[in-house]
Amino acid sequence: MQLFPCPFCGERNETEFHFAGELGKLRPDTAGDVSDAEWGRYLYTQRNEKGHVREVWMHMPCGELFVLERDSVTMAVIGSRALRGETA
């Protein structure tokens, strides 16, 4: 079981966390025209990187989203920070 650092609560077991998505994905502005291809990419295309990844997770007990940087090969945790103030 991995240990993830919630920026607000500290290290907790991975079972307390919920994956929210990869960092940096922007929602297309649907008030304007969005092509099928662009919308499809937003919904389904993930970077799915090998190695250093930047992801958004929610710590369920406190309900806060945060950025988690980790290594998808070694499972090493690189660091975490609050999502607030993040510019994609």
Partner 1 sequence: MSARRIDGYGVIDRSQPLNFAFDGKSYQGVAGDTLASALVANGVRIMGRSFKYHRPRGLWGAWVDEPNAIMNVNGEGVQLPNCLATTTYLQDGMEARAVNAWPSAARDLKGGLDLFHRWLGAGFYYKTFMWPDWHLFEPAIRKMAGLGTVSPDVLDGYEADQVFDHCDVLVVGGGAAGLVAARTAAEAGQNVCLVDDQQTLGGSLYQLPDIDGRSPVEWVATQREAIVNAGARILTKTTAFGVYDHGLIGLIQSGSFGDAPRLIRMRAGRVIMATGALDRPMTFPENDRPGVMSLSGAAELLARYGVLVGHRLAVLATHSLAEASIKLLRDAGVEIERIDPADGAFTAFGGRASTGLKQSGRARTYDAVLTSGGKTPLVHLWRHAGGKLDWCDTRQAFVPGKAPDMMTAVGAANGTFDLEGAFNEARAAGAGHATMRADTQYTVKPHWPEPGSKGRQWIDFQHDVTLKDIEVAARENYVSVEHLKRFTTLGMASDQGKTSNMAGLAAMATIQGRPIPEVGTTTFRPPFVPVPLEIYRGAHREQNWHPIKRLPLETTHRALDAALGEYGGWLRPAWYGTGTSSDLIAQEVQAARESAGLFDGSPLGKIEVMGPDAEAFLNFIYYNTIRTMKPGQLRYGFMLTESGTVFDDGVLARLGPDHFIVSCSSSHVDGVRMHLEAWRQDGNDPDRIFIHDATQHWATVAVTGPEARDVLMTLGLDIDLSAEAFKHMSLQSTTWRGAALRIARVSFSGDLSFEVSIRASKATELWDSLHHAGAPLGLRPIGLEAMSIMRAEKGYLIIGKDTDGETMPHDLGFSAPRDKKTAAFVGDRSLHCEKANDAARKQLVGLMSDDRFLPTGAHLVKDDTSQGYVTSSYQSPTLGRPIALALVTSGQSRIGETIAVQHLGKTQKATICAPCFLDPKGERLNA
Residue number, 10 or 28, with CB nearest to partner 1: 28
Please, which residue, 46 or 74, has the CB nearer to partner 1?
Answer: 74
Residue-wise burial string across 46-67, b where 16 or more C-beta atoms lie within 10 A, e elsewhere:
eeeeeeebebbbbbeeeebebb
Q: Which residue has the tokens 């710590």?
A: 59
Q: Is 21 left (phi over 0), alpha (psi -120 to 50) or beta?
A: left
Q: How far is the CB of 9 from partner 1 (least distance, A)?
A: 15
What H or E segment, with its residue span, contains residue 37? helix 36-44
Residue 37 interacting with partner 1 (CB under 8 A) = no
53 lies in the site for partner 1, by CB under 8 A: no
Binding stretches for partner 1 (CB under 8 A):
1-3, 18, 20, 27-31, 34, 36, 39, 42-43, 56, 58, 60, 63-65, 74-75, 77, 83-84
